[in-house]
Amino acid sequence: MHHVSWILAATVLASLPLAAQATDSAPAPPPAPAPAATPAQQQYLDGLRTAGRGVAQLKDGIDRVGRNRADTAQLRMAGQRLGGLCGSAGSFMRQGRARMSHAAYVDSARTLARRLNQQVDSVIAFLPTCQREGGKKPTATAATLVTRLRSYEGALRKFREIAVLAPAQPTTPTP
């Protein structure tokens, strides 16, 4: 029995340094949250979200044209639908763009916000043509719209990376 209690005591004593070590190496605290947006920045982001609804409509119209290229009648209907979506997307985009003042940001973020505004303006400027020509030339209209949306997406990506919506730092290290 004495031998068993000695083994038990040795096991307990041997485990003490491990337990102490476990408490010393507590997990690192999570990164500090990004600073809260100012009211002007929040208004910009809300406007961007509204404009994004219009962009989603445009992408839906482009997708419809792309799916129906083989059938002429279906392509014409998809083009007419694209024209209609250009009209409704325009109201979302104009409403959102009106709230997107790049002056809400400073330094490089302001430059990125200004570029994003220019891309939104470029898409908005094409929408009357899209609305008018969508049913007549659906493939060409969709192609032009894709080009403008790619520029918009690039500006949006840069804005999100640098200005305010930087991705959160991972809490666990990546291998």
pLDDT in tens, 97-125: 999 999 999 989 999 999 999 999 999 99
112, part of any domain: yes
Confidence band of 169 (pLDDT split at 50, 70, 90): very low
Would 99 be classed as within a structural domain? yes
Is 110 part of any domain? Answer: yes
Does residue 9 belong to any structural domain of this protein? Answer: no
Helix (H/G/I), strand (E/B), else coil: 134: coil
In a domain, 145, yes or no: yes
Task: To the nearest 10°, report the CA torsion of 156, 157, 163, 167.
Answer: 140
d(CA 118, CA 114): 6
**pLDDT value for 129:** 96
* Number of domains comprising the chain: 1
90 is a domain residue? yes
Taking the C-alpha atoms of residue 73 and residue 75, their distance in angstroms, rounded to an integer, is 5
Task: Quick: pLDDT tens for 49-105.
Answer: 999 999 999 999 999 999 998 888 999 999 999 999 999 999 999 999 999 999 999
Residue 93 lies in a domain: yes
The reported pLDDT for the residue numbered 162 is 84
- Residue 70's pLDDT is 83
Q: Which of 165, 168, 147 is nearest to 48 (CA)?
A: 165
> Position 126: which residue type?
F
Structure tokens at 143: 């192609």
Counting Cα atoms < 13 Å in the Cβ hemisphere of 81 gives 18
pLDDT value of position 41: 92
- What pLDDT is recorded for position 87? 95
Q: Which of 15-19, 23-27, 67-71 shows the lowest per-residue confidence on average (mean pLDDT)?
A: 15-19
pLDDT of 166: 42
**Angle between the 138-162 and 39-67 helix axes, to the nearest 10 degrees?**
150
Q: Examine residue 25 and state whether it is found in any structural domain, yes or no.
A: no
CB neighbour list of residue 84: distance below 8 Å, 6 or more residues apart: 61, 131, 134
Find the CATH number of the domain harbouring 126. Answer: 1.20.120
Tokens of 73: 């009648």
List of residues 6+ apart from 37 with CB closer than 8 A: 45, 164
123 vs 2, higher pLDDT: 123
Q: In which domain, by residue range, is 51 found?
A: 39-162
Confidence tier at 142 by pLDDT (50, 70, 90): very high
